[in-house]
Structure 1
Amino acid sequence: MRAANGTDYAEFQNEILSFYREHGRALPWRQTSDPYAILVSEFMLQQTQTQRVIPKYARWLEEFPTVRALADAPFTQVLRYWVGLGYNRRARYLHECAKKIVREFDGAVPSNPAALRTLPGIGAYTAAAVAAFAYDKPTIFIETNIRAVFIHFFFSYREEVSDKEIAPLVRASLYEEDPRTWYYALMDYGAALKKRRDNPNRQSKHYVKQSQFKGSLRQARGAIIRALIAQPLQTHDELAANSCADTAVQTALFNRALEALLREGFVAKFEHLYTLAPNFKDDAPSAK
């Protein structure tokens, strides 16, 4: 294939697709064309390692096999099956997303990226990815592994490479006969690149080193959620003891995390007891 600028991308496409035929990963969300299952995988894979997602993904689909099943579930149950993936806002967005799909799209995940972007928690990347993977639409998007591939092949001696420079190359080299397979191939090639050499994304203008999880606010937030799933109603001291014992986080960090969860509506206070929210008045057992 020759682009308008005269560049022939056939060799590039052949290398990527040949690698995928020999080394492509057989991930569970690649074995289905169910748009809902693919939507779930996209939410789970945001900022979370693939190997952590695989078992959670399988259990999630057993518990919530359809959009309607997820939409009808109480949020406390949704959180219970999300624990371990981190960034609990994504669980809330996915739950609200399912409700809106049932309410406005009769339970069918939209195929149009513009319609997908009207759903909670879905931005340009997720909308384009779901359209490509669920409906094989030739959308254009960039994520970390795709970015690594294009920097490796086209900007190997550059620093501060922007996604605005990469996007036209993604468009020009798109394997339009099978966008779904093409993007999976790019992602797997990029994942392999980062294992065998320095991460090409360090040359990206958008590169941010991920902060350490241990001792972080994210760790404390997760500990509080786990503690409240195990025991729905707890006093401040009980919740602090259970959460800090789980993670060895400092009391000050626990308090910051609890304040944030209350402010964001993940945790609610009922008289002197803390519990998961929303709908805790309906779902939680009565205080004794």
Structure 2
Amino acid sequence: MKKSTQTLLKSSGPVFSHTHLTDEAVAEFRCEVFTFYQRHGRHDMLWRHTDDPYRILVSEIMLQQTQVERVSLRYPAFIVAFPDPATLAKAPLSEVFAAWQGMGYNRRAVSLKKCAEKLENEHKGKVPCDPQVLATFPGIGPATASSICAFAFNLPVVFIETNIRRVFIHFFFSGAESVTDAEILPLVERTLDRENPRVWYWALMDLGTELKKSVPNPNRKSTAYVKQAPFAGSDRRIRGMILKYLIVTFPAREKAIAAQVSEEPARVRRILAALEGEGFILKGKDGYRLAE
């Protein structure tokens, strides 16, 4: 008898076999995933209501390390400020950082601007539909490149990200102690809806998000799992505070920056050196400022 989606979500054992996946099982798995999506899918995301490849590229880079709720708040204003690659490519980095505030991992903002420059300089402002080409862009690895191609061009590419991984571990490997992406990828390819990969991947990701709330995180079984370090008190937090300060106050000397972020001068000096070495900021005779 076919189980309900809610029963499948709460199942503590493998629902489908990862070693012997029949056509019937593939059809049942797809049905369950699509049924969940029809009932509970996140249909209010702006980037799901466009087929503009540039806007989808922006959303995918934003979503790499930031929760959907926060991206939903920042994405609309970012697109208004930088509606196309040409506008973003020409924009001062300070303006890009200002629009990025609240997203975290500011390196992605730099990568996104460099992507826009590469699009303008090498691709006539058009996002390429080849994931191997996209994977050469700053800040875009194979998985993000494939996700852009799936969502922007509806191409039947095969990739794994955290929510997709969670779905396959839950449904196919919940009895396992350790699971590699190499074991998951053939299942992703086997079950892929090649007629409508865009919606299929949306459905998988939404189901993966629900699983995170419903069951102990299946991704802890993944060999790719890395627990994120606490944000409070981290260098990452201080880096963000420094960049936010330099958006509106520049040039600024090291002493003033240390006072602003309330940290030991030696630690601030080390972080400033790292930011300068990575091209985020410039040091002049009168102090630090954002790189342009």
The two structures have a TM-score, normalised by structure 1, of 0.91
- Find 1:234's aligned residue among 243, 252, 272: 252
Q: What's the C-alpha RMSD, in Å, of the aligned pairs?
A: 1.5
Shift of residue 253, structure 1, vs aligned partner: 3.4
2:117 counterpart letter in structure 1 = K
Q: Find the aligned partners of 1:39 and 1:272 in 2 and give their Cα distance.
A: 38
Map of 2:236 onto structure 1: 218
Q: 1:158 maps to what in 2?
A: 176
Distance 1:250 1:24 in 2: 47
Which contiguous aligned blocks of 4+ residues in structure 1 show a shift greater than 3 angstroms? 3-6, 249-253
Structure 2 equivalent of residue 11 of structure 1:
28
Is residue 2:285 matched to residue 1:271?
Answer: yes
Cα displacement (A) at 1:83: 2.0
Q: In the TM superposition, what whole-angstrom CA distance separates every residue of 1:184-230 from its partner, at most 9, and x where no partner exists? A: 00000010001011000011111111110000010000000011012
| Percent identity for Structure 1 against Structure 2 | 50
State the match for 2:275 in structure 1.
261
| Alpha-carbon distance in structure 1 between the residues aligned to 2:119 and 2:248 | 31
Q: How does 1:195-206 map to 2 (within 5 A)?
A: 195-206=213-224
| 1:43 aligned partner | 61
Q: 1:159 to 1:4 in 2, by over 3 A?
A: closer
SS of 2:239's partner is: helix
Q: C-alpha distance in 2, partners of 1:209/1:129?
A: 23
> Cα offset for 1:256?
2.6
Q: How many equivalent pairs are there?
A: 272
TM-score normalised to structure 2 length: 0.90
- 2:126 aligns with 108
Query: 2:81 maps to which residue?
Result: 63
1:85-100 aligned within 5 A:
85-100=103-118
Query: Using CA pairs below 8 Å that are at least 6 residues apart, which structure has the higher relative contact order?
Result: 2
Is 2:191 the partner of 1:173? yes
Q: Which runs of 5+ in 1 are unaligned?
A: 280-288
Give CA deviations for 1:106-158 in whole Å, capped at 9, x if unaligned: 11111111221232222101110000000000000001100000000100100
Question: Quick one: which of 145, 160, 163 aligns to 1:145?
Answer: 163
Q: Cα gap change, 1:126/1:240 in structure 2, threshold over 3 Å: closer, same or farther?
A: same
Q: Secondary structure at the match of 1:46?
A: coil
Secondary structure, in 3 states, of the residue corresponding to 2:105? coil
| TM-fit CA distance, 1:250 | 4.4
